[in-house]
Amino acid sequence: METYTAMVMEEAGSVPRPEPRPVHEPGRDEAVVRVRASSMNFHDLVNLLGMIDGPWPRVPMSDGAGEVVAVGERVRGLEVGDRVTGAFLPRWSHGPPGPEVERYVPGDAGDGWLQQYARFPAAALVPVPVHLTDLEAATLPCAGTTAWSALRAGSVKAGDVVVCLGTGGVSLLALQLAKAHGAEVVLTSSSDEKLRVGESLGADHLVNYRSTPDWDRAVRAATGGRGADLVLDVGGADTLPRSVRAVRRAGMVVVVGAVSGADTAEVSIFDVMGRNVHLVGITVGSVADHAACCRAVELHRIHPPISHTLDWTEIGEAMRAMQAHEHVGKIALRIS
Amino acid sequence: METYTAMVMEEAGSVPRPEPRPVHEPGRDEAVVRVRASSMNFHDLVNLLGMIDGPWPRVPMSDGAGEVVAVGERVRGLEVGDRVTGAFLPRWSHGPPGPEVERYVPGDAGDGWLQQYARFPAAALVPVPVHLTDLEAATLPCAGTTAWSALRAGSVKAGDVVVCLGTGGVSLLALQLAKAHGAEVVLTSSSDEKLRVGESLGADHLVNYRSTPDWDRAVRAATGGRGADLVLDVGGADTLPRSVRAVRRAGMVVVVGAVSGADTAEVSIFDVMGRNVHLVGITVGSVADHAACCRAVELHRIHPPISHTLDWTEIGEAMRAMQAHEHVGKIALRIS
Amino acid sequence: METYTAMVMEEAGSVPRPEPRPVHEPGRDEAVVRVRASSMNFHDLVNLLGMIDGPWPRVPMSDGAGEVVAVGERVRGLEVGDRVTGAFLPRWSHGPPGPEVERYVPGDAGDGWLQQYARFPAAALVPVPVHLTDLEAATLPCAGTTAWSALRAGSVKAGDVVVCLGTGGVSLLALQLAKAHGAEVVLTSSSDEKLRVGESLGADHLVNYRSTPDWDRAVRAATGGRGADLVLDVGGADTLPRSVRAVRRAGMVVVVGAVSGADTAEVSIFDVMGRNVHLVGITVGSVADHAACCRAVELHRIHPPISHTLDWTEIGEAMRAMQAHEHVGKIALRIS
Amino acid sequence: METYTAMVMEEAGSVPRPEPRPVHEPGRDEAVVRVRASSMNFHDLVNLLGMIDGPWPRVPMSDGAGEVVAVGERVRGLEVGDRVTGAFLPRWSHGPPGPEVERYVPGDAGDGWLQQYARFPAAALVPVPVHLTDLEAATLPCAGTTAWSALRAGSVKAGDVVVCLGTGGVSLLALQLAKAHGAEVVLTSSSDEKLRVGESLGADHLVNYRSTPDWDRAVRAATGGRGADLVLDVGGADTLPRSVRAVRRAGMVVVVGAVSGADTAEVSIFDVMGRNVHLVGITVGSVADHAACCRAVELHRIHPPISHTLDWTEIGEAMRAMQAHEHVGKIALRIS
């Protein structure tokens, strides 16, 4: 039996080390993928720092893309040679999140994508949009699907105003997907340089929250005083109070992250109640959401923005870049 | 021209004093009502304490019921002799709250119900459920419609679990309306005596939050660990963090009040995000919501609970009782 | 290995004959059920008459209930001794119907419930409401879940008016579940005797469509001219045109059957368009819908109406009774 | 008092004749508009042919655009000099269609737009998208809003497949608005020439239903067998059966017209039921829908396609062209 290289974390916080492993046959409902790319999410950083429980040793990284090299006997609709990405929550097939959505994430609860070959349930693999490279496709499972689900939570339609906070992977993909939905997009950042990247991706309004700390007022000004239809909040404690003020009456704030670190945010009851704000928390999305995202990405020929492309052996550098907030969009990893 | 007595506040915080006024003819789209009853909401208390802006002098009280004595020439569907209640937000006819929902509340922005005769747009008057007294009907415009809208925000269905916090007017009406929707109801209170009133109205589970401060765990226990489908939060800062923990994955917390006084509440980002909680603020409801509430109240022969029935001259006593939290359900005022 | 008796159809249209079979061990995700009851749906009649393709030989009947006697190693939340019913569409776990909903029905595509022991995926089994007998529980998988899904398609709420056509299993369960949702129910039938059964189950308005052929006008009359919120149409060609006329502006007609036999129905474009009618076809429901139905049945202590209780050896008599339209509610089969 | 020219129909079917009328002051909530353009809908044709009841004499035409020349004392948010269009249903402000939606259409129940000056409730006037001429803007009230509402009924999102039948005004505006929502569009027509116009407006797939009568199969083929997410049906009896077959499981057919003339359409119960099709009838939309449509038209710089621009004195030629199906998109009328 052939062997391949997997990067394995021995225990919480240990550096992933190469390890030879045998290539297994797929189970009846599984496919084996020759992995070509992965990408780093905030979730992966937290995982690599040893802050997520689960079985040890394990192969980290929730996201990836590659080529199918073998399929199980009962697999339909997937063939050897197909290029695929995996789902962040492979056991949540479709529909609303219910008790059946176990929090099983590749790289946490089982082996992830930082290896040359990986075995997954075929039902959790989604075709790569034809115009994308493997590196680009590997940015979609977590960040793309999260952005997609956030926009769908608010039923964003043509003419709506969507606010994307910052220039991380989720925010820039949300910008691109919001444009694909026909929305007008306000982008915030602390850096004019990063805002210019957002502008090149289609952002209609740019707000530097360093020079304009009350960016919620800038959103109101940009909407004739009405407020945005949807704010995609990734900041948590630092941003949520302003996000609530930035939306229109009966508008929606989708809570998808807490990059500011603190768990609790202070929310104004009077703002929420008096203006009928909807606050909704989401967790990435289902396999069907991931597939719908990929379909829109393909139809609109969206190229996910990647600021850092590294070799998978440079995972330490990827961690450092993310911790230093150097990235604009995604950090992608080549797996050779 | 005949005169009648209105209770008038001269300025912010002044005690309402009787004043003779002429009975006016209705405008083309208006009706004149011989008022028979009003009821006191927390909103009225705040208003009577002088904390709501608006024109002075004015007649306070947002809610009331009585008999139509004259209708304008263009009025259809309303006749002299009909018993009616008024809407809390008479300019919000139906549909979702939009920019057209001006915050025009009777008793704030214009004269309210603490008078023997009142003139209103006919389109903002709703027939009294046939089985109700005027006093009972006068409890519905604010508290009943708020409770109704909260349940509708969550599309409550048969078999759902709804948590009502406390035994104020909104909470007990929500309890009754949730039972009418076929839901299972958890009621909380600091008083076993008040809980027994709730039990007599159909509450399935009673939780004394004095003896069981972690009432969210009691809700989880009562639902086999799953959590409630909807919590109607009236407490604000004191209750919102636990409300978020008491709901199931993708459950809803409807924010309808802040009786604890503080504006801001600390909400856990991880709870909201990780369990996909929906937090929704509502403001009473439209005239159509009020009418739908009245229809359900009639079909289910619901009698709104009233713990205090006072004469309209005893408005000071009504204020005292509400401030002392003596009421269970509503405080009603007879207008003779 | 122990053997048991299964009733087996050799080929399309052949009478089910007893056959000894060995009791198998459950697979890892399966449970083995000692079947105690089944019930007959129109779908089963069509199947027994040989009009549904699929593999032969096979054990017919889509619905059943019994007791778990063995569970596979990976099964969680289900134990030996639990009483369960099965889902009509065991592969549709939850959420909206999508491409992943294969039309796999027990008794068609694989063995059904007309046997003493049956093996099913544990995820497709639902606990029996505690107050029900096995015979009662066996009426819920197809008819109960269909009725439930139809009411949920229209988001039926307290005070709504629901029209149930006829007194078959789906219609009478819809009547009971609509009452549990707080609705007002209009029931139609060609027989005053059958209508009286409906009245005893809570129907608010009874319409004999033999003596009142324009029953849609009777519905309008019963609703003050407004029309019903939802009509559950089981009749197809014979009833759909009137169903469309019986609903209010923007009301919903849920199409769940075509007992009149013809495939096509003539629908008035002007009715649909001018009054913004929603016509929605549904196919029973998911396992989650079935479970939610069972939960509401339990909370409301609903007893599904059964007019005929027969032994499983009397399946021919069950077919005859259904073809003669003798039943009111369901025909249940004891499996001993 | 100044006078102006109105084109007046004396009675059902009579040719509109010029008549001098005095320019009136606006009522308190009204605005007076100097009309510059109108456009012809199928509804107007039917009206001009004398087939719509109402008071006589009257000024025909439901749609128009022009410049505000006077506003009533209570009007806010509208000023002299603003360019505006009117709503097709001026009394339906927003929200779902309810009993309060009277069927009051300008040109039917009261004077319409075929005059130099017109007085309307200010609340029913909507700003013209800045990039549009008055002629272009005058095409939006009926056709644009209908197209908009149809897409919103199905919550069309990026990546969805929408089918537009034919190249009339509603269908081509639906094509443009569907593209603005990020959808993929299939367009049908009997003419390759007309299809090329659709292609220039962004249609992704073109189907000539003369050469491909089973266009529903072409839709399935274009979607990998899955079917469209939404079909906008304008044809009625001739097209509805295929529309039902062209949509995916749980897809939506929006019924907005019956150009084939017949009232009733034969719908397959098995198609509707077995594939969970949603059939929804809509009637143009509210003032808020019209405004949202205009906002999307402006953001996306959509130019409504106009094949015929005529003088208002040539209304007879406009009728002839529409009856001969010569138009592609809209027929616009200059009012000088």
CB-defined contacts B:C, below 8 A: 53
- Asked whether the beta carbons of residue D181 and residue A157 sit closer than 8 angstroms, the reply is yes
* C100 in contact with D, Cβ within 8 Å: no
- Asked whether the beta carbons of residue A263 and residue B240 sit closer than 8 angstroms, the reply is no
Per the domain annotation, does C323 fall within a domain? yes
Q: What is the DSSP string of A275-307?
A: TT-EEEE--S--HHHHHHHHHHHHHTT----EE
The amino acid at B208 = N
Q: Which two tokens stand for residue A298?
A: 């393909």
Per-residue pLDDT tens over the stretch A69-96: 999 999 999 999 999 999 999 999 999 9
Which residue, chain included where needed, has tokens 């927390």?
B42
Residue of B231, B254, B279, B286 to mutate when probing chain A, most A C-beta within 10 A: B279
The phi-psi region of residue B50 (left if phi > 0; otherwise alpha if psi is between -120 and 50; otherwise beta) is left
**CATH number of the CATH domain containing D260:** 3.40.50.720
D158: closest chain A residue by CA: A181
Q: Which two tokens stand for residue D241?
A: 């059966």
The partner residues of C161 in beta bridges, in order of sequence, read C184
* D274 in contact with C, Cβ within 8 Å: yes
Q: Which helix (H) or strand (E) holds B221?
A: helix B215-222
**pLDDT over 60 at D100, yes or no:** no
Average pLDDT over residues B37-42: 97
Per-residue pLDDT tens over the stretch A32-47: 999 999 999 999 999 9
Model pLDDT, residue B243: 97
Question: Alpha-carbon distance D135 to D147, whole Å?
Answer: 18
Model pLDDT, residue A1: 62
Same domain, D116 and D186: no
Question: Alpha-carbon distance C15 to C36, whole Å?
Answer: 21
Instruction: Find, among A146, A195, A153, A194, the residue nearest to A174 by Cα.
Output: A146
Model pLDDT, residue B175: 98
A300: closest chain D residue by CA: D182
Per the domain annotation, does D299 fall within a domain? no
* B281 in contact with C, Cβ within 8 Å: no
Per-residue pLDDT tens over the stretch A294-326: 999 999 999 999 999 999 999 999 999 999 999
Nearest CB to B275; choose among A262, A266, A281: A281
Per the domain annotation, does A7 fall within a domain? yes
Same domain, B232 and B310: no
**pLDDT over 90 at D260, yes or no:** no
**CATH number of the CATH domain containing C131:** 3.90.180.10
Same domain, B101 and B172: no
Average pLDDT over residues B251-273: 90
Same domain, A176 and A72: no
**pLDDT over 70 at A62, yes or no:** yes
CA distances (Å), C92 to each of A86, C103, D86, in order? Answer: 22, 9, 48
Question: Alpha-carbon distance A309 to A318, whole Å?
Answer: 9
C128 CA: distance to closest CA in chain D (Å): 28
Q: What is the DSSP string of D251-307?
A: EEEEE---TT--SEEEEEHHHHHHTT-EEEE--S--HHHHHHHHHHHHHTT----EE
Q: In what order do the strands lie in the sheet with C161-165?
A: C205-208, C184-189, C161-165, C228-233, C247-255, C278-281, D278-281, D247-255, D228-233, D161-165, D184-189, D205-208
Same domain, B243 and B308: no
- Percentage of residues of chain D with pLDDT beyond 90: 90
Same domain, A73 and A195: no
A270: closest chain B residue by CA: B263
Nearest CB to A100; choose among C93, C96, C100: C93
Find the domain containing B164 and state its range.
144-281
Per the domain annotation, does A215 fall within a domain? yes
Same domain, D68 and D134: yes
* B111 in contact with C, Cβ within 8 Å: no
* A2 in contact with C, Cβ within 8 Å: no
**pLDDT over 80 at B100, yes or no:** no
**Which D residues 40-69 touch B at CB under 8 Å?**
none
Model pLDDT, residue D259: 79
Q: Which two tokens stand for residue A152?
A: 């769908």
Same domain, A58 and A106: yes
- Asked whether the beta carbons of residue C273 and residue D282 sit closer than 8 angstroms, the reply is yes
Is C178 in contact with C153 (CB distance < 8 Å)?
no
Q: Which two tokens stand for residue B290?
A: 């009020």
Residue of A148, A299, A300 to mutate when probing chain D, most D C-beta within 10 A: A299
A179 CA: distance to closest CA in chain D (Å): 8
Query: Which stretches within A52-162 are classed as H helix?
Result: 134-137, 145-153
Q: Which two tokens stand for residue B329?
A: 């359900």
Is B104 in contact with B291 (CB distance < 8 Å)?
no
Residue of A29, A94, A286 to mutate when probing chain C, most C C-beta within 10 A: A94
- Helices B145-153 and B287-299 pack at an angle, to 10 degrees, of 90
Which residue, chain included where needed, has tokens 């099913």?
C120
**pLDDT over 70 at D1, yes or no:** no
Residue of A103, A170, A272, A284 to mutate when probing chain B, most B C-beta within 10 A: A272
Is A42 in contact with A259 (CB distance < 8 Å)?
yes
Question: Alpha-carbon distance D21 to D32, whole Å?
Answer: 14
Average pLDDT over residues B93-105: 78
- Cβ neighbours of residue D306 closer than 8 Å, sequence gap 6 or more: D39, D135, D136, D139, D329, D330, D331, D332
Number of residues in chain A: 336
Confidence class for position A102, pLDDT limits 50, 70, 90: low
Same domain, C15 and C93: yes
Model pLDDT, residue C167: 96
Query: Which stretches within chain C are classed as H helix?
Result: 42-48, 134-137, 145-153, 169-180, 192-200, 215-222, 240-246, 269-274, 287-299, 315-323
* B258 in contact with A, Cβ within 8 Å: yes
* C17 in contact with A, Cβ within 8 Å: no
What's the domain count of chain C?
2
Tell me if residue D248 falls in helix, strand or coil. strand
Nearest CB to D280; choose among C237, C263, C278: C278
Per the domain annotation, does A116 fall within a domain? yes
Per-residue pLDDT tens over the stretch D25-66: 999 999 999 999 999 999 999 999 999 998 999 999 999 999
- Cβ neighbours of residue C256 closer than 8 Å, sequence gap 6 or more: C146, C150, C170, C232, C233, C234, C281, C282, D273
Is C61 in contact with C113 (CB distance < 8 Å)?
yes
Per-residue pLDDT tens over the stretch B287-326: 999 999 999 999 999 999 999 999 999 999 999 999 999 9
Beta-sheet strands, E only, within B203-277? 205-208, 228-233, 247-255, 264-268
Nearest CB to D300; choose among A155, A158, A299: A158
Same domain, A150 and A268: yes
**pLDDT over 60 at B121, yes or no:** yes
Sign of the dihedral defined by the CA atoms of residues C294, C296, C301, C302, in that order: negative
Question: Alpha-carbon distance D103 to D122, whole Å?
Answer: 18
C134 CA: distance to closest CA in chain B (Å): 21
* D250 in contact with C, Cβ within 8 Å: yes
Q: Could you say which DSSP state residue A328 is in?
A: S
**pLDDT over 90 at B259, yes or no:** no
Same domain, A192 and A116: no
Per the domain annotation, does D289 fall within a domain? no
Confidence class for position B99, pLDDT limits 50, 70, 90: low
Q: What are phi and psi of C143, to 5 degrees?
A: -70, -45
Model pLDDT, residue C236: 87
Number of residues in chain B: 336
Per-residue pLDDT tens over the stretch D163-180: 999 999 999 999 999 999
Model pLDDT, residue B261: 78
Residue of D94, D125, D126, D295 to mutate when probing chain B, most B C-beta within 10 A: D94
Instruction: Print pLDDT tens along chain C (336 aa).
Output: 689 999 999 999 999 999 999 998 999 999 999 999 999 999 999 999 999 998 999 999 999 999 999 999 999 999 999 999 999 999 999 999 876 566 789 999 899 999 999 999 999 999 999 999 999 999 999 999 999 999 999 999 999 999 999 999 999 999 999 999 999 999 999 999 999 999 999 999 999 999 999 999 999 999 999 999 999 999 988 999 999 999 999 999 999 988 777 889 999 999 999 899 999 999 999 999 999 999 999 999 999 999 999 999 999 999 999 999 999 999 999 999
Same domain, D30 and D108: yes
* D281 in contact with C, Cβ within 8 Å: yes
Q: Which two tokens stand for residue D226?
A: 């899955």
Which residue, chain included where needed, has tokens 């119900």?
B113
Question: Alpha-carbon distance A59 to A117, whole Å?
Answer: 11
Tell me if residue B30 falls in helix, strand or coil. strand
Confidence class for position A98, pLDDT limits 50, 70, 90: confident
Is D281 in contact with C275 (CB distance < 8 Å)?
yes
Per the domain annotation, does A81 fall within a domain? yes
Instruction: Find, among D133, D8, D144, D132, the residue nearest to D63 by Cα.
Output: D144
The amino acid at A244 = V
Per the domain annotation, does A286 fall within a domain? no
The amino acid at A213 = P
Cis-peptide into C57, omega within 30 deg: yes
Chains within contact range of chain B (3+ C-beta pairs < 8 Å): A, C, D
